A and B are shown apart, each in its own frame.
Chain A
């Protein structure tokens, strides 16, 4: 074993995009290898949970944890890695705020299982469902328990730093890795615990180069429905752009390319509830004082819950839709 500081990365309920983003730092990945001993990274190397469990507490310097907490296995590993790691980073939108897997919190467990095992694209003539426990002659076997709501990492364990993004931008990952290496060499200091790292402290609008005037919106539009002015603020053109509530750090990539911000960097500094901030922002730009006309204009946002909580539902104040709290048997 080398005496280099130890590094781990884990994926819970996630898509694997965060791992790709880490590999997208290109040759900087060699710096990771030069400065760290990678002890646990299921997507990149073989490792067993029992090996991690056997490690000394606090022996891993840096753990990047991506993915939400969907089942008991996710929670178990989150707790193990918390114990073993000095710095636990909620890495990517899923770990920070639930992200797309968190949208399952709009549905009951039964609805989710019905969709997964019984819809037309699934060939399941015998209606086979997962059994969480099964008695075999040799003894009982189990699979991880499925939780009724997806939780964010910090709803389960204490988190040192947050690095949002779906996925975090590679240049930001490279900057964070540089920072940690500089800290190791005594050239820099770590930010205070609980900080957001690899991000800006303002909103996407602040990084966006589009021209902004007074916003007045008579109708909400989809990007394929209108001719988009390449210079003008998208929200001003009636495109529901989530920039006003979203944390900066991505260099406003989507608005620069003519697509609205969908909010993957999560709530900006000081925003308690991301969706509530957007409700406020969008309602403020509507150019009408007539209740019926307001309703007509709002019809242009057919799914406000999805629009405002696409990445943030599990981390929001309400955390889930009412259906998710139902305790129907699956």
Chain B
């Protein structure tokens, strides 16, 4: 995983039930090819996205998180996607303070008709994360799990 030539990013993608999940569905039924690195999780709305989900994904080994929803003004629940957008902005700033590259989280709007756009956004995000390299928060040699196992001498060696 640490070798960039063989590095396959793990991406967690959050989709909303009404637009972006259907875009992903459309991409599938249209046989549109896109990177298989994304693991999609369907929420009822991007406004349901608790920032905890994003932090947990990154802490447990995801290299990037993609948040998707209906276009502004088209939210099934009126304006929750705006809330998701505001959270996204604040999350990026908070993660930056923790040393996580802001580009590791991405916000994408996709309507139910935009299967091709959805596929394109996934593929380009995967390439962006591939360029950034592994985050390795949970599993890598600098991650928690390794640190918990290592003795203090090893940690400072």
Contacts and interface: CB of A to CB of B under 8 A. Distances in A.
A92 B137 CA distance: 28
Contact of A321 (B59, B91, B97, B144): B97
B64 to A, nearest CB: 14
B106 to A, nearest CB: 14
A325 B50 contact: no
B155 interface: yes
B50 A276 contact: yes
Given A319-B144, A325-B142, A327-B157, A305 B94 contact: yes
Contacts of A283: 83, 86-87, 89-90
Given A317-B56, A317-B59, A306 B86 contact: no
A142 to B, nearest CB: 10
Interface in A269-288: 272-273, 275-277, 279-280, 282-284, 286, 288
Contacts of B86: 283-284, 286, 288, 294
Query: Main secondary structure on chain B at its contact with chain A?
Result: helix
Nearest to A320: B98
B128 to A, nearest CB: 18
A71 B153 CA distance: 11
A279 B87 contact: yes
B54 A291 contact: no
B89 A294 contact: yes
A316 B99 CA distance: 15
Given A276-B54, A280-B51, A319-B59, A308 B89 contact: no
A21 B157 CA distance: 39
Shortest beta-carbon contacts, A-B, top 10: A305-B97, A322-B99, A145-B152, A325-B142, A283-B86, A276-B51, A276-B52, A283-B87, A279-B51, A317-B59
